[in-house]
């Protein structure tokens, strides 16, 4: 009959490989040495000592072994998937951390921009206030200058009116003396040439004042 090794003998009998090896060592199970100097056992000897498993038991054993292999494969696949999930989670955590850092930088930049905008606004408001103050000062100075010019004009007009009244009084007085002798009228006639330029000066002054009032 066929001869098998210790591993195959274990599968045929259903006992462990170590039990087969101990049986051969103790002489309970006879064996032979093959060309490769390995111990081999005749199947009939296995049947005598341990008995052989039926075909159904062998198939059940094979099925159990297949189920175990499938279970191991499934366990390995689950472990691989768990590692992948851990890697995905780590990548997502790193991405969230990066986004949080970028968001914090944007908030810092926003605060800096707001501060600069406030400074520019304050500077603009201060410059506008300075311009308004300067405009107010210029307007006040213009009003003061106009008031002073008006006062000077009124004083000059008053003085010119007084001089005109005096001139009219002198002219009336000269007219009342026309009946005097020629020798007495001569001094008055000598004074008239000196009065005519004064009248012309007054008329020029009145014309200048009218032009100045129109211009102001």
**Residue 14 included in any domain:** yes
**Residue 169 included in any domain:** no
Per-residue model confidence (pLDDT) at position 206: 61
**Residue 114 included in any domain:** no
Q: Indicate the pLDDT class of residue 176, thresholds 50, 70 and 90.
A: low
Burial 99-131 (b: 16+ CB within 10 A, else e): eeeeeeeeeeeeeeeeeeeeeeeeeeeeeeeee
**Residue 99 included in any domain:** no
**Percent of the chain, pLDDT > 90?**
15
Say if CB 185 and CB 178 are below 8 A apart: yes
- For 44, the domain range is 1-53
Instruction: Please state, in angstroms and rounded to a whole number, the distance separating the CA atoms of residues 77 and 178.
Output: 149
**Residue 43 included in any domain:** yes
At residue 185, the 3 state secondary structure works out as helix
Per-residue model confidence (pLDDT) at position 111: 92
Q: pLDDT (tens digit, 9 = 90+) per residue, 53-111?
A: 876 555 555 555 567 778 888 888 888 988 899 899 999 999 899 999 999 999 999 99
Instruction: Please state, in angstroms and rounded to a whole number, the distance separating the CA atoms of residues 32 and 34.
Output: 7
Residues 6+ apart with CB under 8 A from 170: 195
Say if CB 36 and CB 3 are below 8 A apart: no
Q: Give the residue with greater pLDDT, 97 vs 124.
A: 97
Residues 6+ apart with CB under 8 A from 6: 17, 20, 21, 24, 39, 41
Q: pLDDT (tens digit, 9 = 90+) per residue, 132-171?
A: 888 888 999 989 888 888 888 888 888 888 888 888 887 8
DSSP 179: T
Tell whether pTM > 0.75.
no
Residues 6+ apart with CB under 8 A from 212: 153
**Percent of the chain, pLDDT > 70?**
75
We report the CATH number of the domain holding residue 3 as 1.10.1660.10
Q: Indicate the pLDDT class of residue 199, thresholds 50, 70 and 90.
A: low
User: What is the overall mean pLDDT for the chain?
Assistant: 79
Least confident of 34-38, 96-100, 169-173, 206-210: 206-210
Per-residue model confidence (pLDDT) at position 89: 92
Domain total in the chain: 1
Say if CB 199 and CB 167 are below 8 A apart: yes
CB atoms within 10 A of CB 144: 10
**Residue 89 included in any domain:** no
**Residue 7 included in any domain:** yes
Say if CB 8 and CB 41 are below 8 A apart: no
Mean pLDDT score, 20-45: 89
Q: Are strands 32-33 and 39-42 parallel, antiparallel or unpaired?
A: antiparallel
Q: Could you tell me the two tokens for 66?
A: 């297949």
**Residue 45 included in any domain:** yes
């Amino acid at each position: 009959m066929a001869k098998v090794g210790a591993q195959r003998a274990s599968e045929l009998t259903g006992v462990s490989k170590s039990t087969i090896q101990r049986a051969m060592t103790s002489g309970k199970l006879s064996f032979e040495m093959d060309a490769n100097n390995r111990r081999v056992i005749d199947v009939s000897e296995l049947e005598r000592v341990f008995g052989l498993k039926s075909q159904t038991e062998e198939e059940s054993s094979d099925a159990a072994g297949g189920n175990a292999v499938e279970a191991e494969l499934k366990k390995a696949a689950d472990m691989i998937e768990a590692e992948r999930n851990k890697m995905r989670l780590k990548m997502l955590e790193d991405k969230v951390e990066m986004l949080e850092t970028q968001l914090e930088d944007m908030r810092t930049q926003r605060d800096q921009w707001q501060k600069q905008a406030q400074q520019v606004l304050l500077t603009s408001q201060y410059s506008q206030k300075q311009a308004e103050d300067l405009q107010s000062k210029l307007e006040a100075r213009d009003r003061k200058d106009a008031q002073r010019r008006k006062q000077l004009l009124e004083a000059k007009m008053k003085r010119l009116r007084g001089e005109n009244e005096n001139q009219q009084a002198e002219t009336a007085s000269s007219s009342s003396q026309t009946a005097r002798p020629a020798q007495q009228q001569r001094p008055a006639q000598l004074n008239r040439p000196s009065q005519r330029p004064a009248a012309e000066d007054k008329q020029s002054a009145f014309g200048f004042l009218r032009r100045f009032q129109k211009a102001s």
